[in-house]
């Protein structure tokens, strides 16, 4: 629109100049008003040309500004893409860290469980036992079951000394006494069986322990002591299988 207006004014100016020139040539510039009109028209044309030049400069500046703005937008897009990539990496890192924390926590829990007491049942009794305590008892019993009685006696003796307050203690003394009996350590066996009866007379192994004391006394040629032990067994534990066996033994003692 601006270019169209400028061309129109230029055309008009040229026509007026031509007209003015013709009139001036004919009248020898005697018409002052015509000269003033021409001067005004020339000033107007100069102003239009200057405005057109300024408009062109403004357009160029605007184009440069737009190009700069576009470059900044592209740069921001690149920065945004980088930030998105960093954010995704951070999200993955956080996920990995959380998983490692869970793994560490599980590992710690598993290790703690290895040291936490657990409920066990042995010979009709239920009690709490440390994992190491349970392992030592079961290891000693496993040796006894292989028939290595001397090694079993050593293992159970070590258990009794290491865990004097253990819930396994009556059972450990029972098996220790049997291992000692098997190795002919009769008096040591009697001492352990008596210790069982003194500390846990209601233990499931107590009647058997009493019968084993009598057997050890027989091996030691202590017939009188064996008879007394068997009679006490029948009296204290009359419903036990050991009491039935004790009656048979009494009938054979002389």
The pLDDT value recorded for residue 78 is 84
**Whether the Cβ atoms of residue 227 and residue 250 lie closer than 8 Å to each other:** yes
Residue pair 128/117 in contact (Cβ under 8 Å)? The answer is yes
Long-range contact list for 27-33, CB < 8 A, 24+ apart? none
Task: Work out the angle between the directed axes of helices 206-219 and 186-199 (0-180°, nearest 10).
Answer: 150
Record the tokens describing residue 52, joined without a space.
């057109």
> Rounded to an integer, what distance in angstroms lies between the CA atom of residue 120 and that of residue 130?
10
Cα angle: 71, vertex 72, 75; to 5 degrees: 90
pTM of the model: 0.61
- CB atoms under 10 Å from CB of 81, counted, come to 10
Model pLDDT, residue 4: 45
Q: How far apart, in whole angstroms, are the C-alpha atoms of residue 146 and residue 153? A: 12
Q: What pLDDT tens digit does each residue of the chain (254 aa) get? A: 444 455 544 554 555 544 454 444 444 445 666 667 677 766 776 776 666 566 666 677 777 877 777 788 888 888 888 888 888 888 888 888 788 877 776 665 556 566 799 999 999 999 999 999 999 999 999 999 999 999 999 999 999 999 999 999 999 999 999 999 999 999 999 999 999 999 999 999 999 999 999 999 999 999 999 999 999 999 999 999 999 999 999 999 87
pLDDT at 244: 97
pLDDT of residue 19: 47
């Amino acid at each position: 629109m601006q270019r169209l207006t400028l061309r129109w004014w230029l055309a008009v100016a040229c026509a007026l100049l031509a007209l003015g020139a013709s009139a001036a040539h004919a009248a020898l510039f005697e018409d002052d008003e015509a000269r003033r009109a021409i001067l005004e028209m020339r000033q107007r044309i100069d102003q239009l040309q200057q405005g057109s030049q300024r408009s062109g400069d403004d357009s160029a500046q605007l184009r440069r500004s737009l190009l700069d703005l576009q470059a900044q937008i592209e740069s921001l897009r690149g920065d945004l893409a980088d930030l998105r990539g960093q954010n995704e990496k951070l999200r993955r890192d956080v996920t990995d860290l959380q998983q490692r924390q869970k793994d560490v926590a599980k590992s710690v829990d598993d290790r703690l469980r290895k040291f936490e007491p657990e409920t066990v049942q042995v010979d009709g009794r239920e009690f709490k036992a440390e994992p190491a305590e349970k392992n030592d008892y079961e290891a000693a019993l496993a040796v006894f079951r292989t028939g290595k009685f001397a090694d079993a006696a050593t293992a159970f003796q070590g258990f009794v000394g290491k865990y004097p307050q253990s819930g396994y203690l009556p059972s450990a003394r029972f098996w220790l006494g049997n291992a000692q009996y098997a190795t002919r350590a009769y008096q040591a066996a009697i001492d352990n069986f008596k210790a069982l009866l003194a500390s846990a007379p209601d233990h499931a192994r107590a009647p058997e322990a009493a019968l084993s004391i009598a057997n050890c006394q027989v091996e030691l040629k202590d017939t009188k002591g064996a008879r007394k032990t068997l009679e006490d067994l029948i009296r204290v534990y009359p419903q036990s299988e050991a009491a039935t066996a004790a009656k048979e033994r009494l009938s054979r003692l002389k």
